[in-house]
């Protein structure tokens, strides 16, 4: 029976490789073989970026966002998010689907990034063979084409590293180099070549992180600072940003600081005089100077809906809100009234009789993707990294390496650009609060709670204005710092088909 399930899963994976053509498919070759021309390599590369865009969209990061200590559900939630808010471990353990009908939730997250790894592996193999076979310049016919091929290869190494890190982020415990206890010292099933039918054991965390960091180092030595094809393709700056994230999650603060400092001053923060101007610039892919790397999007291709957090819809050309989840009062209290983010990242638009409360409205819409100018379409582009996160990493890593002056300087610069005035009397508290304010909605808080050893606290105050509309939180069990369910369990089907896959829970 396990073999039948396994081959069914492998068949779905293989079909997905040829059925997810958002622009072009990297597996449109009749059979797997090295690239024959630079045009073929470019086409396959563009298809891979399409899959990256699909995996990185906010729909696959909303569940770790709401599992953090920031939210409760509303009366509109049909038990879609409450299991994560309340830590209903039975529901979380088997959550999501990844089949021919639906791809969502924990199972969908695992599927998306596993597929992306396989596709990246396929591309790397094909390109390495093509470069090795190009001794007579019959494939890449000029030195310019050879350099472009090497750049494409480096870009895909970055994508491969990102996909592996995304799985490590959710399916591996907090990194401890000294641990030899299973499953705490285990990473993911580390697949280094194209093999959709692979079944095997989990590698150690060290092996996984070594592989990720090796791929990024190889890419950084080749990639130009900024990709000549634009910010919709990975460049060296993004590789440094991703490596900073990886080092931060490992607790390598000095290394993370070095990478973040490579890019932090290269991209200006948004210059706005009020919240309205800030919102216009922040939500515009074309005009936001903080974006380091994003996916391609247009009114017809690549723009995605992002209404999971705000419950927005368009009725008679007007935006209406019926959120499933809303922030708790302590989250609202993080934002001063003068802070632009208090009416952009969160917004007081939830009606509850005569009262109004706040929802997360950070990802409302980029009007450039409307098909008709006066009709909201509630679509945005997918962003992989913005420079504000580098400011936050510099601040935290500087503090953790004993340089509070640098930490405070970067916190104050970021806060001031948002109209805020940060209190840095307690530097670590200021770092935690500013990071929570800035990265709300992006799935970062749960990762931060793990790194900062924070518990999830029961019966946290809901917004008083939303009494009767928002649900009182009652956790299913105590969630102290380090609770095992901060890390997700592997999807049920993957555990069934891979007898070597050691469980997390």
Give dist(CA 180, CA 184) in Å, integer.
Answer: 8
97 DSSP β-pair partners: 104
Is a pLDDT exceeding 60 seen at residue 238? yes
Q: What DSSP character marks residue 323?
A: -
Provide the percentage of residues in the chain whose pLDDT is more than 70.
94
The pLDDT of residue 33: 82
pLDDT band at 485 (very low <50, low <70, confident <90, very high): very high
* Domain residue ranges of the chain, discontinuous segments joined by +: 2-267+480-497
Per-residue model confidence as pLDDT tens digits over 50-69: 999 999 999 999 999 999 99
pLDDT at 16 over 70: no
pLDDT of 98 strictly over 70 = yes
Q: Given pLDDT bands bounded at 50, 70 and 90, which one contains residue 459? A: confident
| Phi (first) and psi of residue 313, to 5 degrees | -150, 165
Instruction: Report how far residue 203's alpha carbon sits from residue 365's, in angstroms, rounded to the nearest whole number.
Output: 41
Q: Is 386 helix (H, G, I), strand (E, B) or coil?
A: strand
304-305 vs 318-321, strand pairing mode? unpaired
How far is residue 255's CA from residue 207's CA, in Å, rounded to a whole number?
Answer: 18
Q: Pairing between strand 291-294 and 103-104?
A: unpaired
Spatial separation of the C-alpha atoms in residues 366 and 225, rounded to whole Å: 27
Which structure tokens are listed for 255? Answer: 């290394």
With contact defined as beta carbons under 8 Å apart, do 192 and 212 qualify? no
Inter-residue contact 217 to 259 (CB < 8 Å): no
Q: How many residues appear in the chain?
A: 505
Q: Would you say 270 and 279 are in contact if contact means Cβ atoms under 8 Å apart?
A: no
The pLDDT of 162-169, averaged and rounded, is 99
For residue 135, CA distances in Å to 138, 150, 302, 384 come to: 8, 14, 38, 36
| Class of the domain covering 2-267+480-497 | mainly alpha
What is the C-alpha separation between 352 and 467, in angstroms, rounded? 8
Residues whose CB falls within 8 Å of the CB of residue 423, separated by 6 or more in sequence, listed in order? 430
Question: With b meaning 16 or more CB within 10 Å and e meaning fewer, what string describes 333-370?
Answer: ebbbeebbbbbbbbbbbbebeeeebbbbbbbbbbebbb
- pLDDT, residue 280, reads 98
pTM (2 decimals)? 0.94
Peptide bond into 183 cis (omega under 30): yes
Three-state secondary structure call for residue 153: helix
Token pair recorded at residue 404: 């509070």
Is the per-residue pLDDT at 5 higher than 50? no
Compute the distance between CA of residue 430 and CA of residue 451 in angstroms, rounded to an integer. Answer: 16
Asked if the model's pLDDT at residue 299 lies above 90, the reply is yes
pLDDT confidence of residue 31: 54
- Three-class SS string for 66-132? HHCCCEEEECCCCCCCHHHHCCCHHHHHCCCEECCCCEEHHHHHHHHHHHHHHHHHHHHHHHHHHHH
């Amino acid at each position: 029976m396990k073999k039948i399930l396994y081959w069914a899963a492998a068949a779905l994976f293989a079909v997905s490789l040829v059925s997810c053509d958002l622009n072009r498919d990297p597996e449109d070759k009749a059979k797997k073989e090295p690239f024959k021309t630079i045009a073929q390599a470019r086409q396959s590369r563009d298809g891979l970026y399409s899959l990256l865009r699909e995996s990185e969209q906010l729909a696959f990061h909303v569940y770790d966002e709401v599992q953090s200590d920031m939210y409760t559900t509303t009366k509109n939630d049909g038990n879609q998010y409450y299991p994560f808010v309340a830590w209903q471990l039975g529901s979380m353990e088997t959550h999501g689907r990844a089949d021919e009908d639906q791809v969502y939730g924990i199972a969908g997250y695992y599927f998306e990034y596993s597929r992306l790894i396989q596709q990246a592996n396929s591309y790397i193999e094909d390109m390495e063979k093509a470069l090795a076979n190009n001794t007579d310049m019959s494939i890449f016919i000029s030195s310019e084409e050879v350099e472009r091929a090497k750049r494409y290869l480096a870009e895909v190494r970055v994508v491969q590293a990102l996909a592996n890190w995304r799985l490590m982020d959710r399916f591996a415990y907090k990194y401890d180099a000294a641990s030899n206890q299973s499953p705490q010292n285990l990473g993911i099933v580390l697949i280094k070549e194209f093999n959709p039918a692979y079944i095997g054991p989990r590698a150690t965390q060290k092996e996984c992180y070594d592989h990720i960091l090796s791929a990024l180092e190889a890419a950084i030595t080749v990639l130009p600072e900024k990709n000549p094809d634009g910010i919709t393709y990975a460049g060296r700056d993004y590789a440094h940003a991703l490596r900073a994230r990886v080092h931060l999650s490992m607790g390598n603060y000095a290394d993370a600081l070095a990478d973040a400092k490579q890019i932090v001053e290269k991209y200006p923060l948004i210059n706005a005089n009020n919240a309205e101007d800030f919102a216009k610039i922040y939500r515009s892919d074309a005009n936001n100077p903080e974006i380091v790397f994003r996916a391609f999007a247009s009114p017809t291709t690549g723009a995605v809906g992002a209404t999971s957090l705000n419950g927005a819809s368009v009725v008679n050309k007007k935006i209406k809100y019926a959120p499933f989840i809303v922030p708790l009062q302590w989250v609202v209290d993080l934002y001063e009234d003068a802070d632009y983010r208090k009416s952009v990242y969160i917004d007081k638009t939830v009606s509850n009789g005569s009262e109004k409360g706040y929802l997360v409205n950070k990802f409302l819409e980029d009007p450039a993707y409307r098909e008709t100018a006066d009709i909201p379409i509630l679509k945005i582009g997918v962003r992989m990294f913005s420079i504000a996160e580098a400011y936050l990493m510099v601040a935290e890593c500087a503090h953790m390496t004993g340089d509070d002056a640098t930490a405070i300087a970067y916190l104050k610069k970021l806060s001031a650009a948002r109209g805020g005035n940060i209190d840095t009397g307690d530097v670590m508290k200021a770092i935690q609060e500013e990071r929570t304010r800035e990265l709300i909605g992006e799935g970062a808080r749960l990762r931060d709670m793990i790194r900062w050893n924070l518990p999830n606290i029961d019966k946290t105050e809901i917004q008083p204005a939303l009494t009767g509309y928002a649900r009182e939180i009652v956790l299913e069990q105590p969630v102290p710092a380090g609770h095992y369910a901060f890390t997700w369990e592997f999807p049920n089907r993957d555990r069934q088909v891979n007898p070597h896959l050691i469980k997390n829970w």
